[in-house]
Amino acid sequence: MLDLPHLRTVLSEHYDLSPSTEVAQELADTYARMERVVTPPDWAIYAPYVKAINALKKERNAVILGHNYMTPEIFHGVSDFVGDSLQIAMKAQEVDADVIVQAGVHFMAETTKILCPEKTVLMPDMDAGCSLAESITADGIEEMRAKYPGAPVVTYVNTTADVKAASDICCTSSNALQIVNAMESDTVIMTPDQYLAQNVANQSHKNVVYWPGSCIVHEQYTAQDLREFREWNPGTRLIAHPECPPDVVAEADFSGSTSGILKYVTDEKPEKAMLITECSMASNIADQLPEVDFVGPCNMCPYMKKISLEKILWVLHTGENEVFVDPEIGKKARASVQAMIDMSRNLGL
Ligand code: 13P
Ligand code: SF4
pLDDT in tens, 218-240: 999 999 999 999 999 999 999 99
DSSP state of 213: B
Residue type, 185: S
* Closest atom of ligand 1 relative to the 105 alpha carbon: 10
Q: How many residues appear in the chain?
A: 349
Q: Probe ligand 2: pick from 199, 217, 220, max atoms within 8 Å of CB?
A: 217
Name the nearest CA neighbour of 29 among 56, 6, 8, 50.
50
Ligand 1 centre to CA of 15 (Å) is 33
- pLDDT value, residue 263: 97
* Closest atom of ligand 1 relative to the 217 alpha carbon: 8
List of domains in the chain: 4-130+304-318 (3.40.50.10800), 139-212+326-346 (3.40.50.10800), 218-294 (3.40.50.10800)
Q: Residue 237: helix, strand or coil by DSSP?
A: strand
- pLDDT(278) > 90: yes
Q: Probe ligand 1: pick from 68, 155, 255, max atoms within 8 Å of CB?
A: 68
pLDDT in tens, 159-208: 999 999 999 999 999 999 999 999 999 999 999 999 999 999 999 999 99
CA angle 164, 70, 136 (to 5 degrees): 25
Ligand 1 centre to CA of 85 (Å) is 5
| Ligand 1 pocket by Cβ (under 6 Å) | 68, 84-86, 158, 172-174, 215, 243, 257-258
Q: Which ligand is nearest to the CA of 240?
A: 1
- The whole-angstrom separation of Cα 317 and Cα 60 is 9
Give me the chain's average pLDDT, please.
97
- pLDDT value, residue 295: 94
pLDDT in tens, 35-84: 999 999 999 999 999 999 999 999 999 999 999 999 999 999 999 999 99
Give the number of other CB atoms < 10 A from CB of residue 42.
Answer: 15
- pLDDT(13) > 80: yes
The CA-to-CA distance between both ends of the chain, in Å, stands at 38
Give the model's confidence band at 349: pLDDT under 50 very low, under 70 low, under 90 confident, else very high: confident
Q: Which ligand is nearest to the CA of 133?
A: 2
